[in-house]
Amino acid sequence: MEKIGFIGTGVMGASIVRHLLKAGYSVNVYNRTKEKTDELVKEGAIWQDTPKDVTTNSDIVFSMVGYPKDVEEIYYGENGIFSADVTGKILIDMTTSTPSLAQKISRTATEKEAYSLDAPVSGGDLGAKNGTLTTMVGGSPDVFNKVESILTVFSSKVNLQGKAGSGQHTKMANQIMIAGTMTGMTELLVYAKSAGLDLEKVLDTVGGGSAANWSLTNYAPRILKEDFTPGFFVKHFLKDLNIALEEAEKMSIDLPATKEARNLYQALVDKGFENDGTQALIKLWWDI
């Protein structure tokens, strides 16, 4: 059985590592804040001091960090993935990052006789915890076929979308859709509360009709409980929307609704809520 490396054990990464451990894989872990791996090590993961060490001791290396600059650092920095001998290894970046960086990593991997995939996911903290993530993959079909069974350990849907960078483009399309459902859910609550309606009854009713969607089902109940813990950070969603709009501009397409969602999440960050979950968008209207 392949030895797996996992770099980045945050909200979602830690759950993915647990699924891999339960499936019987040996998992080497690294995180910038070592304490975030303590529980995983108790559960059987093996701590490594650097991304280079993770890579040296693994056959397949996953990474899941916050921003494209973090991906750049763990791959190209001192003691990064590419500072190790990566010959024959498979490198899978699950960070929501830029298609251009995924393509750069693919080129470097090829030069070093390694293989790479970009494989961002959707499903948030619940999807990671339940092993029901949707994984969107870019890269070679041959490499994808070698790791598909591993990806299904923590995913309910895994699809190869095309060449390097295609996984990231698919994730941008996903985030564009989520931007619409998050703003729609938020304005629904604002409107219903102002109209004096029973919000729980409203959610039960519209959630059973054509307005039903993932954001409404999973995030609206958290808002009613004033639970703004991050299944997905505001700051990371803002990053994603900025990437989507930058890519749209490169393709000469205009996405006005996504631009407005970006502006709203920027306002939320400006108010100091960047470390809340994306459902905190309601705070632009409600004093919570």
Whether residue 80 contacts residue 109, with contact meaning beta carbons closer than 8 Å, is answered with: no
Active-site residue list = 171
User: Exposed (0-12), middle (13-18) or buried (19+): which is 42, by Cβ within 10 Å?
Assistant: exposed
Quote the CA–CA distance of 47 and 72 in Å, as a whole number.
21
Domain 169-284: CATH superfamily is N-(1-d-carboxylethyl)-l-norvaline Dehydrogenase; domain 2 (1.10.1040.10)
Secondary structure class of 17 (helix, strand, coil): helix
Decide the pairing of beta strands 133-138 and 121-122. antiparallel
Quote the CA–CA distance of 215 and 178 in Å, as a whole number.
8
Strand partners, 61: 5, 91
**Segment (H or E) for 240:** helix 234-250
* Topology alike, domains 3-162 and 169-284: no
Whether residue 243 contacts residue 172, with contact meaning beta carbons closer than 8 Å, is answered with: yes
* Confidence (pTM): 0.94
The conformation of residue 164, written as its DSSP 8-state character, comes to T
- Sign of the dihedral through C-alpha 194, 195, 201, 204: negative
Q: What is the end-to-end Cα distance of the chain in Å, rounded?
A: 50
Tokens 């293989």 map to which residue? 115
- Show Cβ contacts of residue 86 under 8 Å, excluding neighbours closer than 6 positions: 55, 109, 112, 113, 114
Quote the CA–CA distance of 247 and 250 in Å, as a whole number.
5
Quote the CA–CA distance of 197 and 208 in Å, as a whole number.
17
Q: Nearest CA to 53 among 37, 29, 34?
A: 29
Compute the CA torsion angle 43, 27, 150, 114 (nearest 10 deg): 170
- Show Cβ contacts of residue 72 under 8 Å, excluding neighbours closer than 6 positions: 101
Q: What is the pLDDT of residue 20?
A: 98
Q: Which of 3.20.10.10, 3.40.50.720, 3.10.20.30, 3.30.70.141 is the CATH number of 3-162?
A: 3.40.50.720
- How many DSSP H helices and E strands does the chain contain? 12, 9
| Residue extents of the structural domains in the chain | 3-162, 169-284
Quote the CA–CA distance of 108 and 102 in Å, as a whole number.
10
In tens digits, the chain (288 residues) has pLDDT values of 899 999 999 989 999 999 999 999 999 999 999 999 999 999 999 999 999 999 999 999 999 999 999 999 999 999 999 999 999 999 999 999 999 999 999 999 999 999 999 999 999 888 999 999 999 999 999 999 999 999 999 999 999 999 999 999 999 999 999 999 999 999 999 999 999 999 999 999 999 999 999 999 999 999 999 999 998 999 999 999 999 999 999 999 999 999 999 999 999 999 999 999 999 999 999 998
Secondary structure class of 161 (helix, strand, coil): strand
